[in-house]
Amino acid sequence: MTIKEIAKLAEVSTSTVSRVLNNSGYVKQEVRERIEKIIEETGYMPSDVAKGLKDRKTNLIGVIIPRLNSRTTSLVVEGITRFLDKKGYTTLLANTGIRLEKELEFIKVFKQKRVNGILFVATRVSKEHAELLEKLDVPIVFIGQDAGEYGFPSVVHKDYNAAKDMTKYLIKKGHRKIGFIGVEESDVAVGLERKRGYIDAQFENNIEIDQGLIATGNFEVSSVEPSMEKIMQKKPSAIFAVTDSLAIGAINYLIKNGYQVPEDISVVGMGDSGIAEIYNPGLTTVKYEYLESGEEAAKLLIESFENKVALRKMMGYKLIERDSVRSV
């Protein structure tokens, strides 16, 4: 079914049909009704493909995510779709499995689909990304990692400050030997910034950094065990894990090994992953504004269509005290 067929059925020209479709220009009431009736009956829907060709605007926004099986990403995407839907944009979703080559490939695919912009939930941003994006010239906003270095607008979380605050909180509770479960530093936000916060907080409180208390694994819960084995040799009174999953992995490890949380040892996470709330004990953690960051990034992108300014938006956070820490 095309506009031409509708025109023929209504015995008018395609222009006239187009006019009633877009409510533009003059159409005699009687003719309008005739056409509307036919459209209704046939279930005809105009093609956005043809329209897109005509006015080079697809109203498509490409969203690139590392994976979907994390609450973080889900919330960000939820925020994105919520905002874009309101503004009449449709979301194209690309799931990369955190593979750089996939990320680059999807950026190209999006360009071919002529998306009006890209939202990139990144775990790291490289020169390759920057060069490709530069070349393809698509509006983009990064989420979760700062791409300001390459001149791209970004929506980031205050990872450094949050981790520092959390560490200070533990220190205030009397802890001086705080184990740290981190992830690869190639993930600047989670791996590097949070670690910096952890270190600086101790530095400012004149606590000597003990490398024996610091373990680096990956995001998989299975990586917690070796990390914990290393850390526990130093007999810490608290564990600071950079994500809630890792924190819960740590707690489960402790329980399995006969410790009580928080009686014997305190544990905190970051991310307020939903599990944190319903877990037993309730996990003390930092709540980030994930849903809001998705909305904010989408908003930034849409706004950049008009005035293109590269900027960085910092999202807030909140320390949520629950039952996994005790004072010593």
Partner DNA sequence: TTGAAAGCGCTAACAG
Partner DNA sequence: CTGTTAGCGCTTTCAA
| Contact residues: a copy of itself, CB under 8 A | 43, 45-50, 52-53, 58, 60, 63, 67-69, 71, 74-75, 77-78, 81-82, 85, 90-95, 108-109, 111-114, 135-137, 221, 248-249, 252, 255, 275, 278-280
Position 18 contacts DNA (CB under 7 A): yes
Q: Determine the Cα–Cα distance for residues 166 and 164; give it in Å rounded to an integer.
A: 5
Q: Judged by CB, which is closer to DNA: 11, or 220?
A: 11
CB contact at 8 A, 103 and 133? no
| All residues at 6 or more sequence positions from 7 whose CB lies less than 8 Å from its CB, including other chains | 13, 14, 16, 17
Phi and psi torsions of 117, nearest 5°: -175, 165
Binding partner at 43 among a copy of itself, DNA, none, C-beta below 5 to 8 Å by kind: a copy of itself
For helices 224-232 and 244-256, angle between their N-to-C axes, nearest 10 degrees: 60
Q: Judged by CB, which is closer to DNA: 58, or 245?
A: 58
For helices 100-112 and 127-136, angle between their N-to-C axes, nearest 10 degrees: 10
Binding partner at 109 among a copy of itself, DNA, none, C-beta below 5 to 8 Å by kind: a copy of itself
Q: CB of 6: closest distance to DNA in angstroms?
A: 7
Q: CB of 273: closest distance to DNA in angstroms?
A: 43
Position 42 contacts DNA (CB under 7 A): no
Q: CB of 62: closest distance to DNA in angstroms?
A: 17
Position 26 contacts DNA (CB under 7 A): yes
Q: Judged by CB, which is closer to DNA: 114, or 172?
A: 114
Among 23, 29, 211, 222, binds DNA (CB under 7 A): 29
Q: Determine the Cα–Cα distance for residues 56 and 88; give it in Å rounded to an integer.
A: 16
Query: How does strand 317-320 pair with strand 285-288?
Result: antiparallel
Q: Judged by CB, which is closer to a copy of itself: 18, or 161?
A: 18
Among 33, 37, 42, 50, binds DNA (CB under 7 A): 50
Structure tokens at 281: 């004990």
Which one of the spans 11-19, 77-85, 91-99, 189-197 is the region binding DNA (CB under 7 A)? 11-19
User: What is the SS3 assignment for 81?
Assistant: helix
Among 38, 41, 42, 55, binds DNA (CB under 7 A): 55
User: What is the SS3 assignment for 32?
Assistant: helix
Handedness of CA 129, 191, 70, 145 (dihedral sign): negative
CB contact at 8 A, 229 and 215? no
Q: Determine the Cα–Cα distance for residues 6 and 14; give it in Å rounded to an integer.
A: 8
Among 9, 16, 118, 145, binds DNA (CB under 7 A): 16
Query: How does strand 312-315 pair with strand 285-288?
Result: unpaired
Position 255 contacts DNA (CB under 7 A): no
Q: Judged by CB, which is closer to DNA: 27, or 215?
A: 27
Which one of the spans 29-37, 59-67, 286-294, 316-324 is the region binding DNA (CB under 7 A)? 29-37
Q: CB of 286: closest distance to a copy of itself in angstroms?
A: 19
Handedness of CA 92, 93, 98, 99 (dihedral sign): negative
Binding partner at 235 among DNA, a copy of itself, none, C-beta below 5 to 8 Å by kind: none
**Distance set, CA 134 to CA 95, 107, 278, 294 (Å):** 22, 11, 44, 23
Position 12 contacts DNA (CB under 7 A): yes
Position 2 contacts DNA (CB under 7 A): yes
**Residues of this chain that bind DNA (CB under 7 A):** 2-4, 11-16, 18-19, 21-22, 24-29, 31-32, 46-47, 49-51, 53-56
